[in-house]
């Protein structure tokens, strides 16, 4: 297995991935199975606005690049026929000459995986979440056990920014998921209520406090 970096036009990473996958399906149907996996390293931001839909914005974790893993290569270089198939895809700028070593790829993927999906909530109301996060960080930094370290990592991933009268909360999707499992295990709650900042922000705070117990 060999992985190659492909430079693409910034903003087209996910689209190029889909185009390559579509090309590979056509090649397979024609009897050419190249056993290629395409990685755009996607993540997403989901915006909560108290409406019936919570739109997701999918973005690449490595802007301007996608990665292709091929079953076999040729002296650390991509086979010419595969190179031409990928290079002819619209928005592909260039294919880096040499394969990424397996060790480098695993190390790189581990780092990139740390970029987790998030939810984004705008609130004009005074939420206690900011104070809860501050108090918990102060308390947990005094504890040295592994559980406390993991919770500190989660808390430090919460970004709270205030501009004029509006506060934007950027919260790991994993924390929202834990909150939903607690308050809506059967997934029957209306999306408009689940994404209402007046409802969900206090519930996220309750989840954080329950994790510290």
On the question of pLDDT at 206 being above 60, the answer is yes
On the question of pLDDT at 1 being above 80, the answer is no
| Domain ranges within the chain, ordered by starting residue | 2-112, 118-211
pLDDT tens track for 113-156: 878 899 999 988 777 888 888 888 888 877 767 777 888 888 99
Average confidence (pLDDT) over 150-171: 89
pLDDT band at 5 (very low <50, low <70, confident <90, very high): very high
Sign of the dihedral defined by the CA atoms of residues 114, 14, 23, 96, in that order: negative
pLDDT band at 72 (very low <50, low <70, confident <90, very high): low
52-76 b/e (C-beta count within 10 Å ≥ 16 → b): eebeeeebbbeeebbbbbbeebeee
Average confidence (pLDDT) over 164-193: 94
- What's the pLDDT score for residue 74? 57
pLDDT tens track for 15-67: 999 999 999 999 888 888 788 899 999 999 999 999 999 999 888 899 999 99
On the question of pLDDT at 73 being above 70, the answer is no
pTM for the whole structure: 0.75
pLDDT tens track for 182-202: 999 999 999 999 999 999 999
- What's the pLDDT score for residue 136? 87
Range 2-112: architecture per CATH: 2-Layer Sandwich (3.30)
Question: Which is it for strands 118-123 and 42-48: parallel, antiparallel or unpaired?
Answer: parallel
Judged by DSSP in three states, 200 sits in helix
Using CA atoms of 58, 207, 123, 198 in order, give the dihedral in degrees to the nearest 10: 120
């Amino acid at each position: 297995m060999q992985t190659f970096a492909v430079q693409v036009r910034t903003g087209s990473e996910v689209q190029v991935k889909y185009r390559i996958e579509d090309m590979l399906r056509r090649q397979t149907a024609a009897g050419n199975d190249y056993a290629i996996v395409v990685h755009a390293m996607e993540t997403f931001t989901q915006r909560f606005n108290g409406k019936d839909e919570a739109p997701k914005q999918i973005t690449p974790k490595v802007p301007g690049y996608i990665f292709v893993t091929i079953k076999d290569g040729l002296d650390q270089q991509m086979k010419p026929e595969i190179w031409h198939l990928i290079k002819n895809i619209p928005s592909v700028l260039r294919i880096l000459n040499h394969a990424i070593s397996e060790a480098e790829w695993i190390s790189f993927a581990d780092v990139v995986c740390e970029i987790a999906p998030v939810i984004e909530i705008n609130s004009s109301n005074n939420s206690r979440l900011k104070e809860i996060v501050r108090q918990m960080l102060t308390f947990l930094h005094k504890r040295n056990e592994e559980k406390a370290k993991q919770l500190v990592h989660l808390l430090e991933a919460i970004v709270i920014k205030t501009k004029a009268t509006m506060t934007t909360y950027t919260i790991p999707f994993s924390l929202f998921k834990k909150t939903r499992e607690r308050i809506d295990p059967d997934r029957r709650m209306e999306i408009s209520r689940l994404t209402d900042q007046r409802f969900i922000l206090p519930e996220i705070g309750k989840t954080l406090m329950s994790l510290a117990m």
